[in-house]
């Protein structure tokens, strides 16, 4: 499994780490339980190294380009060098399948797959044309190089994995993936980690994050970037204060994506301008167990993203017994079942979001019932099921 631009071991919601990292590790662990030896190959940002993350799962950090972190827009410059390192490993390790995650990994791995006659599986995780079509005003479009590379990979890979039918439709209709080589395999969720917690855990979570003990909590989790819709969350918070005379705590869990360094400051300034600066708490990227505690302690999770190929945060919140308020876009229409695991909104009007937040927070019985059905919905998605489906794909293309 190849993840060039971000180490699968990196903490999600930091730098460029996100759902891809969670998905790669989740599937790798389950493949290892099924006696598959998995190498996770990534670009080293320090000294090249290798270490066993889990029995049967080895992280291999290889050099490519100048040492140290490299801006994401410069990574295409070193795909050839990274590909040479993949080839070196492949000759020694005798891989049966190369599975590339994100387009940069695919561009690096495809020549190796051709040279060594090994099947290539491609997971995009985010699709450039999909992001461009749904981007908000002022958001920079994805570069032409990425769009052309994704089209090339979609036609050349032996199998393309989509996380949702929405992503599969875009890949086939707009990117050029072949229908008979495109598979839909939804991600899973760690149902033991993300689960409803006792009140004592809720109280300790509030204390550890410096949150008041008696105020409702609304969480927005993930990298802090314009694409994730944080501005809408802040504006909805202000509208709620106007409509009801009170506001919950909006807890922002995540770090700013490199290149968007000023965005968090803009959010703080906006919150202050709208009179809700004291109601927005930036807690940074949380470790997985702390994030699970926060979801369980929250009254509501909101996912106002402009674009999501699936929406793993929504699934993790549902598994924690916390309903989700999400924008009806892309894969969120599949990760969130309207009226079961939360509500899907077809508008980005802040007042409408504020009204729905208020109605859910004020109605304990309805919110509790949604939490129960949300957990039941999440239980349909496991990393074991995802790994089993992937093994079926690998078997069908293995040479």
pLDDT digits (tens, 9 = 90+) for 192-248: 999 997 666 788 899 999 999 889 999 999 989 899 999 999 999 999 999 999 999
Residue 73 confidence (pLDDT): 87
Two structure tokens written together for 370 = 């949604």
pLDDT at 139: 81
Q: Please provide the DSSP assignment of 254-301 as one string.
A: S-BPTT-TTHHHHHHHHHHHTT-GGGEEE--PPPHHHHHHHHHH-SEE
Least confident window among 11-15, 21-25, 284-288: 11-15
Mean pLDDT, to the nearest integer, of 276-300? Answer: 95
d(CA 342, CA 372): 11
Pick from 326, 317, 312, 275: which is nearest to 294 by CA?
317
The proportion of the chain whose per-residue pLDDT surpasses 90, expressed as a percent, equals: 85
- Closest-CA residue to 121 (of 58, 27, 19): 27
DSSP state string for 152-163:
HHHHHSSEEEES
The token duo for 366 is 């309805």
pLDDT at position 199 is: 64
**Binning pLDDT at 50, 70 and 90, where does residue 399 land?**
confident
Beta pairing class for 49-54 and 57-62: antiparallel
Rounded-to-integer distance, Cα 116 and Cα 124, Å: 22
Q: What percent of the chain has pLDDT over 70?
A: 98
d(CA 237, CA 280): 9
Residues 6+ apart with CB under 8 A from 96: 118, 119, 394, 398
Tens-place pLDDT, residues 336-373:
999 999 999 999 999 999 999 999 999 999 999 999 99
Higher pLDDT, 137 or 8: 8
Average pLDDT (279-288) is: 94
3-class DSSP state of 75: helix
Which pTM value belongs to this model?
A: 0.93
Lowest mean per-residue pLDDT among 60-74, 159-173, 291-305, 383-397: 60-74
Residue 15 pLDDT exceeds 80: no
Pairwise CA distance, residues 89 & 95, whole Å: 9
pLDDT at residue 198 in the model: 66
Q: What is the pLDDT of residue 232?
A: 97
Please determine, for residue 19, whether its predicted confidence score (pLDDT) is greater than 90: no
In the predicted structure, residue 249 carries a pLDDT above the cut 80:
yes
Q: How confident is the model at residue 134 (pLDDT cuts 50, 70, 90)?
A: confident
Q: Strand, coil or helix: what is 22?
A: helix
pLDDT tens figures, 307-340: 999 999 999 999 999 999 999 999 999 999 999 9
For residue 258, what pLDDT is reported? 75
Asked if residue 267 has pLDDT above 90, the reply is: yes
Which domains, and CATH codes, for the chain?
19-188+382-397 (3.40.50.2000), 199-378 (3.40.50.2000)
Under the banding of pLDDT at 50, 70 and 90, the label for residue 97 is: very high
Residue-level pLDDT at 17? 73
- DSSP3 helix / strand / coil % (the chain, rounded to 5): 50, 15, 35
Rounded Cα distance, 231 and 22, in Å:
25
Average pLDDT value for residue range 159-178: 97
Mean pLDDT, the chain, whole residue set: 94
CA angle 212, 215, 219 (to 5 degrees): 95
Q: CB burial class (10 A; 0-12, 13-18, 19+) of residue 9?
A: middle
Per-residue pLDDT, 69: 87
Confidence of residue 16 (pLDDT cuts 50, 70, 90): confident
d(CA 335, CA 373) in angstroms, rounded, equals: 13
pLDDT at 259 over 80: no
Q: For residue 373, what are its two tokens?
A: 């059905």
Burial class of residue 240 (count of CB atoms within 10 Å of its CB; 0-12, 13-18, 19+): buried
Cα angle, residue 17 at apex, residues 93 and 100 outer, rounded to 5° = 35
Give the residue, 203 or 41, on which the prediction is more confident.
41
- CB within 8 A of 385, min separation 6: which ones? 188
The pLDDT score that the predictor gives to residue 379 is 97
């Amino acid at each position: 499994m190849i993840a060039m631009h971000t180490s699968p071991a990196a903490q999600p919601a930091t730098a460029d780490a996100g759902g891809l990292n969670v998905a790669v590790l989740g599937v790798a662990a389950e493949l290892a339980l099924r006696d598959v030896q998995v190498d996770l190959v990534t670009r080293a940002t320090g000294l090249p190294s290798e270490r066993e993350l889990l029995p049967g799962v080895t992280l291999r950090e290889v050099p490519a380009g100048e040492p140290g972190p490299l801006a994401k827009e410069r990574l295409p410059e070193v795909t050839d060098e990274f590909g040479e390192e993949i080839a070196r490993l492949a000759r020694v390790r005798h891989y049966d399948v190369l599975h590339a995650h994100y387009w940069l990994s695919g561009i690096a791995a495809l020549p190796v797959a051709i040279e060594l006659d090994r099947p290539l599986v491609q997971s995009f995780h985010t699709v450039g044309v999909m992001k461009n079509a749904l981007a908000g005003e002022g958001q920079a479009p994805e570069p032409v190089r990425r769009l052309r590379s994704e089209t090339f990979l979609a036609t050349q890979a032996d199998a393309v994995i989509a996380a949702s039918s929405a992503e599969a439709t875009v890949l086939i209709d707009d990117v050029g993936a072949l229908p008979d080589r495109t598979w839909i395999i939804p991600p899973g969720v760690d149902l033991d980690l993300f689960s409803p917690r006792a009140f004592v855990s809720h109280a300790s979570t509030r204390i550890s994050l410096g949150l008041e003990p008696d105020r409702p909590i609304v969480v927005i989790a993930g990298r802090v970037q314009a694409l994730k819709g944080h501005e809408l969350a802040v504006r909805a918070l202000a509208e709620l204060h106007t409509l009801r005379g009170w506001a919950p705590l909006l807890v922002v869990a995540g770090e700013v994506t490199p290149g968007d360094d000023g965005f968090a400051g803009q959010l703080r300034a906006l919150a202050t301008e709208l009179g809700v600066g004291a109601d927005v708490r930036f807690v940074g990227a949380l470790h997985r167990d702390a994030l699970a505690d926060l979801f369980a302690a929250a009254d509501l999770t909101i996912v106002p993203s402009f674009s999501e190929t699936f929406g793993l945060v929504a699934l993790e919140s549902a598994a924690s017994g916390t309903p989700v308020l999400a924008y009806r876009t892309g894969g969120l229409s599949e990760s969130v079942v309207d009226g079961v695991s939360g509500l899907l909104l077809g508008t980005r009007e802040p007042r409408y979001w504020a009204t729905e937040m208020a109605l859910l927070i004020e109605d304990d019985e309805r919110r509790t019932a949604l939490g129960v059905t949300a957990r039941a919905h999440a239980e349909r998605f496991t990393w074991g099921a995802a790994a089993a489906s992937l093994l079926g794909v690998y078997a069908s293309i293995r040479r």
